[in-house]
Amino acid sequence: MPEPLLVVRDVEKHFGGVHAIQGCSFEVGAKTITGLVGPNGCGKTTMFNLITGTFRPDSGAVIYAGRDVTGLRPHVMAQLGVARTYQLTRVFKSMSVLQNLLTVPFDQSSGERKQWAVEVLAAVGLAEEADATAGDLSFGDQKLLEFARVFMLHPKLVLLDEIFAGISPALQERQMRVIRDFRARLGVTFLVVDHTMRVIMNLCQEVLVMNHGQILAQGAPAEISRNDRVIEAYLGNRSAMKGVDHHRD
């Protein structure tokens, strides 16, 4: 396993009486594409919020690039190179596509910024829509825009929350290509939450399985798909898997 870029150690989080994350520990290797899967409500999005500083853990530590970043504010995490998307797309609706991208980053001249924005838009296939108002885009294109926007930060770690959900297989393919490309060219690390198993199995080198706020299993996609505990947690029983898998494909 390569040097970890992100280490989550014994993280706990309660909301009132709900024990959302219960002593969660895992590592994400630098320059890998790691999947984070698990049934709805198992704490995946909460985990993202804990890593990016939206929530502060009750206990435990988040270590990023060798530095303890537990409880740092979201804007600080972003400036350190941790970018994210949201499960429910959050683009700046009344601004143009290009303006959405030009709000960041911080350490470049406006010329460089625009050049990079144009490159990123071309990569995700939104170049034609640069001057369109973000709120007028289709659902799929809004997802692409939010996906594109994270790369404006020149991130080292990108957390993607269900960016493949509800869009066409062709768009999914394009997003996967972009992810692979940014990893290969720029060494970006990805942590990907999704329910589309075909994508996770194809894209990721490593898969983390969460259940009830804990890491249940970790391994290569092939191992994970054979792991009985995972199948049980995820699907209730083995026989259900085929049906669901077909359904997802």
Partner 1 sequence: MKASSPFRFWPGAVAVAILVAVPFVASGYITALTLSLLMYVALAYGWNLISGYTGYVSFGQVAFFGVGGYTCAILAKAGMNWLVGSLIGGVIAGLLAVVLGLVMLRLKGAYFAIGMLGLAQLFAAVAGALKRVTNGSTGIFLPPSLSLVPVYLALLSLALTAVVGTAILHRSTFGLRLMAIREDEEAAESLGIHTTVYKIIAFSISAVVIALAGGVMTWYISFIDPQSAFPAALNLTMVIMAVFGGPGTVWGPLVGASTLGIIAELLWANYPGLYLVIYGVILLLIVLYIPQGVVPSLSKLLRRRGAAETVRKGRRGAVA
Q: Which helix (H) or strand (E) holds 230?
A: helix 228-235
Q: Is 186 helix (H, G, I), strand (E, B) or coil?
A: helix
- CB-nearer residue toward partner 1: 105 or 221: 105
Give yes or no for residue 22 binding partner 1 (CB under 8 A): no
Read off the tokens for 98. 């290009």
* DSSP conformational letter for 136: G
Q: Which two tokens stand for residue 134?
A: 């973000």
- The smaller minimum CB distance to partner 1, of residues 135 and 243, is found at 135
CB 6, min distance to partner 1, A = 16
Structure tokens at 169: 């297989």
Instruction: Give the contact letters, 133-152, x = binds to partner 1 (CB under 8 A), - = no.
Output: ----------------x--x
- DSSP string computed for 79-117: HTTEEE--SS----TTSBHHHHHHT--SSS-HHHHHHHH
157 vs 230 by CB, closer to partner 1: 157
Cα-flanking dihedrals φ and ψ of residue 189, to 5°?
-95, 140
Q: Return the amino acid letter for 64.
A: Y
User: If binding means CB under 8 A, how many residues of this protein chain bind partner 1?
Assistant: 36
CA-to-CA dists, residue 241 to 18, 128, 175, 231, 246, angstroms: 29, 41, 26, 7, 8
Name which of 30 and 118 has its Cβ closer to partner 1.
118
Q: Between 127 and 217, name the residue whose CB sits nearer to partner 1.
A: 127
Nearer to partner 1, 73 or 242 (CB): 73
DSSP state of 156: S
Per-residue contact track with partner 1, 81 to 110, x per CB under 8 A?
--xx-x---xxxxxx--xx--xxxxx---x
Q: Are 9 and 182 in contact, with CB atoms under 8 Å apart?
A: no
Site string for partner 1, 39-58 (x = CB under 8 A): -------------x-x----
Q: How far is the CB of 94 from partner 1 (least distance, A)?
A: 6
Residues that bind partner 1 (CB under 8 A): 52, 54, 73-76, 78-79, 83-84, 86, 90-95, 98-99, 102-106, 110, 113-114, 118, 121, 127-128, 130-131, 149, 152-153
